[in-house]
Structure 1
Amino acid sequence: MTPTNGTGTHGAVLQDTEPEDGSAVVELRNAGKAYGNIRALHGVNLTVRPGQVTCVLGDNGAGKSTLIKIISGLHQHTEGEFLVDNTPVRFTTPRDALDKGIATVYQDLATVPLMPVWRNFFLGSEMTRGPWPLRRLDIEKMKKTADHELREMGIVLDDLEQPIGTLSGGQRQCVAIARAVYFGARVLILDEPTAALGVKQSGVVLKYIAAARDRGLGVIFITHNPHHAYMVGDHFSVLRLGTMELSASREQVSLEELTNHMAGGTELAALKHELAQVRGVDVEELPEEEDLTAPVATAPEGSA
């Protein structure tokens, strides 16, 4: 693969590699979305490969939600290309995305808190037995299948009859991930799965994100936390005001550089002289503007 360098809209260096033919499950090429005169997303390039975690970071209003909606079939892109298995697509409904193996786990998880775990696992896709009109739910098979699939992901629950609302936030996220894997997801989009969780529960979710990657899924991890992203990510894309601020593989960017781009370090550097006028504020450790706009170092070929 040949490295290609470009410059982002806000002066950041986009240093990435060309995708190998046939390797990408989902790919966006200069994709964008406009709502009338409002351009929510513009010139976004994103490649999702099997067995990799692609982290999409950005602050509120950066365009992460719009990106999710395009890939999951809720909205259609208005510019650029959207490809699945190297074939241009234009989804009209989320069902179109599911049919292509693209599943989305939103923050609300789409679960019914008072229903048992096994029932939520098959919610909307229940197993049945018997001929019509005597067809009925195959409860035992659903329980056994749910238990098996959860254990395959390393999730062991003592009682699948307990309401899913009694599980911790991290456990509910993990059940949703296992459900998507079971129903044939090839690409798993996770919308801020650790946003409302504590440190320990966030670690649980990150563990199962890595487990999904190890099972060969392409994972799109949407987050505003660069530390969580760097723990499991293979590639990092930072959105800012609807454009790509940074696109780099793990070997090309450090956690510090990722954090600076995520935090809008260029603006912070520009305000350094103003902050220096405020009594009690130590600006010595703040980065200089040229440090944040310098090219991201590229790892030498063959490095791990």
Structure 2
Amino acid sequence: MDTAVTAAGPQGPAADAPVLEARGIVKRFGHVEALRGADFTVGRAEVVALIGDNGAGKSTLIKTLSGVHAPDQGEIRIGGRPVVFSSPVDSRRAGVETVYQDLAVADDLSVAANLYLGREILRAGLLGRLGLLDKRAMRHGATSALGELGVRIPRVTTPISMLSGGQRQCVAVARAIIWATNVVILDEPTAALGVVQTERVLDVIRRARDAGMSVVLVSHNMPQVLDIADRIEVLRLGRRAARFRADEVTTDDLVAAMTGALTVGMENS
């Protein structure tokens, strides 16, 4: 294979297997054990919220799933097949896209250029071989994709720096959704947004889920988690402490699971 993503066996992904799964992930930084056998599961076409108190290991887990950190022990599976990520590039090649809080958008480039950043379309023929971009095709593709996701911006030629915080976040989320084939991981996507901007980002997430995409939402906002997630997995002290159907729990239940006060629904990971 031309990528460090490797899979066990020649068979394709099992239809009933989780689209993304972490099994017994251990990650150490010197003497600090950030993950202590963490498990995590994402099914097809669902929004899974990953919650936990500060220091629970959420950031380390998503960075491990995104190829930033290599696990010291444990296994990551895509569609039921074990994979090894040597870098974030490998994770993206496996269909996992991640949006961190800093967004990683290029302020001086247009919306269309940001959506195709690193995946630019070249002109046909000799001009393409010389490295000339097909900007018209990218503008058309960006307009179509953003329209399907309900992202409202002035024009795809508008520089990112001219957009509001909510619009910038929507563009970053949309870029991940457009290119992901398996899972989109969103790290606190509405943390710095107002009510209206937050709802627009959440609407993009709902549309992605309804279109068949799997979404991982990392958030401290419990009411928001209960509103948008299908399932919730709780991380505590580097391990999965509990998992719930979102329509079967309350905010108090989630807080109790995060602090270790709740035993109903708890799991040994």
Q: What band does the TM-score fall into relative to the shorter chain?
A: 0.7 to 0.9
CA distance in 2, matches of 1:51, 1:143: 28
Equivalence for 2:49: 55
Q: 1:21 to 1:161 in 2, by over 3 A?
A: closer
Highest Rg: 1 or 2?
1
1:234 matched to 2:230: yes
Aligned with 1:243 (options 234, 239, 246): 239
CA distance in 2, matches of 1:205, 1:156: 11
Q: Please list the CA deviations of residues 269-297 of structure 1 after superposition, one character each: whole Å capped at 9, or x if unmatched.
A: xxxxxxxxxxxxxxxxxxxxxxx434149
Structure 2 stretches of 5 or more lacking a match?
Answer: 1-13
What is the identity, as a one-letter code, of the residue corresponding to 2:32? I
Equivalence for 1:278: none
Equivalence for 2:204: 208
* C-alpha deviation, 1:23, in angstroms: 2.9
CA distance in 2, matches of 1:21, 1:41: 29
CA distance in 1, matches of 2:135, 2:172: 19
CA distance in 2, matches of 1:208, 1:70: 25
CA distance in 2, matches of 1:71, 1:187: 10
Aligned with 2:69 (options 65, 75, 78): 75
SS at match of 2:216: strand
Tell me, yes or no, if the aligned pair for 1:55 and 1:237 is still in contact at 8 Å. yes
SS at match of 1:137: coil
* C-alpha deviation, 1:43, in angstroms: 2.1
* 1:154-233 paired onto structure 2 within 5 Å: 154-233=150-229
Taking structure 1 as the reference length, the TM-score comes to 0.77
* C-alpha deviation, 1:181, in angstroms: 2.4
What is the identity, as a one-letter code, of the residue corresponding to 1:30? G
SS at match of 1:119: helix
Tell me, yes or no, if the aligned pair for 1:252 and 1:296 is still in contact at 8 Å. no
Structure 1 stretches of 5 or more lacking a match?
Answer: 1-19, 267-291, 298-304
Tell me, yes or no, if the aligned pair for 2:36 and 2:237 is still in contact at 8 Å. no
Q: 1:39 to 1:208 in 2, by over 3 A?
A: same
- More displaced, 129-138 or 194-203? 129-138
Equivalence for 2:91: 97
CA distance in 1, matches of 2:186, 2:234: 16
Q: Please list the CA deviations of residues 21-46 of structure 1 after superposition, one character each: whole Å capped at 9, or x if unmatched.
A: 73301111222211232110112111
Equivalence for 1:288: none
Equivalence for 1:269: none
Taking structure 2 as the reference length, the TM-score comes to 0.86
SS at match of 1:136: coil
Equivalence for 1:257: 253
SS at match of 2:204: helix
Q: Please list the CA deviations of residues 44-82 of structure 1 after superposition, one character each: whole Å capped at 9, or x if unmatched.
A: 111111110110012322211100111001111112221
CA distance in 2, matches of 1:124, 1:230: 35
- Report the RMSD for the aligned CA atoms in angstroms: 2.0
Tell me, yes or no, if the aligned pair for 2:231 and 2:246 is still in contact at 8 Å. yes
SS at match of 1:293: coil
What is the identity, as a one-letter code, of the residue corresponding to 2:45? G
Where does structure 1 differ by over 3 angstroms across 4 or more consecutive aligned residues?
132-135, 259-262
Q: 1:133 to 1:241 in 2, by over 3 A?
A: same
Q: Please list the CA deviations of residues 2-30 of structure 1 after superposition, one character each: whole Å capped at 9, or x if unmatched.
A: xxxxxxxxxxxxxxxxxx97330111122
Equivalence for 1:43: 37
CA distance in 1, matches of 2:108, 2:212: 33
- How many residue pairs get aligned? The number is 251
CA distance in 2, matches of 1:294, 1:246: 9
Q: 1:139 to 1:237 in 2, by over 3 A?
A: same
Q: Please list the CA deviations of residues 221-268 of structure 1 after superposition, one character each: whole Å capped at 9, or x if unmatched.
A: 011111111111111112223222322222442233113434x3x5xx
CA distance in 2, matches of 1:198, 1:210: 18
Tell me, yes or no, if the aligned pair for 2:182 and 2:213 is still in contact at 8 Å. yes
Tell me, yes or no, if the aligned pair for 2:106 and 2:114 is still in contact at 8 Å. yes
Tell me, yes or no, if the aligned pair for 2:37 and 2:239 is still in contact at 8 Å. yes
Q: Please list the CA deviations of residues 80-133 of structure 1 after superposition, one character each: whole Å capped at 9, or x if unmatched.
A: 221111111121011111111000011111111122111111112111113255
